[in-house]
Amino acid sequence: MRRAVCPGSYDPPTVGHLDVIVRTAALFDEVFVAILVNPRKQGLFAIEERVEMLKEITADLPGVQVESFSGLVVDYCRDRGAQALVKGLRGATDYDYELPMAHMNRHLTGVETLFLPGAPGQVYVSSSLVKEVARGGGDVTPFLPASVHARLVERLRLNPPV
């Protein structure tokens, strides 16, 4: 059984994240979408909400499971019997950020990291940019799965930027 982990913050999940998950699911028998619980960083969405959003948008993908995790991603991979981490690369900045982690994770447990090139039309899409544009009143409809977009609009309606 080939198992992969797609780790991330997913605050919120974008169409770029979903693209990587879909492509990973086509390559592996099982995929664990793993949301990092980071006590040092408070997100716009609670971890439970991110789990719900990711479950909604991956519901029709066989073999995909969504979970949160704490601690090191290599330990999570070992617990789930996953041989690989899969990450999307939008460009050189992502590569520079991801490469040391890939080396470190392989050093720690031997887990491999596979990089998928971001879909050409989505390389400028990130959770942080989407939140910034949405807070400023810009239209972020194309960058989010519909159910995630609806949650973001509602979140900003209830907590308007000051």
Smallest distance from the beta carbon of 40 to ligand PNS, in angstroms? 11
Task: Pick the binder of ligand PNS from 22, 101, 114, 116 (CB under 6 A).
Answer: 101
Which is closer to ligand PNS, CB of 104 or CB of 150?
104
Stretch that binds ligand PNS, among 57-65, 99-107, 133-141, 143-151 (CB under 6 A): 99-107
- Give CA separation, 16 vs 27, 117, 132, in Å: 17, 10, 17
| Amino acid sitting at position 103 | H
- Output the smallest distance, CB 137 to ligand PNS, in A: 25
Does residue 89 contact residue 116 with C-beta atoms inside 8 Å? Answer: yes
Are 61 and 22 in contact, with CB atoms under 8 Å apart?
yes
Among candidate residues 9, 50, 87, 127, the one labeled active-site is 127
Q: Which of residues 128 and 147 has its CB atom nearest to ligand PNS in the complex?
A: 128
Does residue 7 bind ligand PNS (CB under 6 A)? yes
Task: Please name the residues in contact with 129: beta carbons below 8 A apart, sequence gap of 6 or more.
Answer: none
For residues 80 and 32, is the Cβ–Cβ distance under 8 A?
Answer: yes
Cα distance between residue 105 and residue 111, in whole Å = 6
> In the range 44-73, which residues lie near ligand PNS by CB under 6 A?
72-73
Q: Does 36 bind ligand PNS (CB under 6 A)?
A: yes
Give the binding site for ligand PNS (CB under 6 A).
Answer: 7-9, 36, 72-73, 101, 104-105
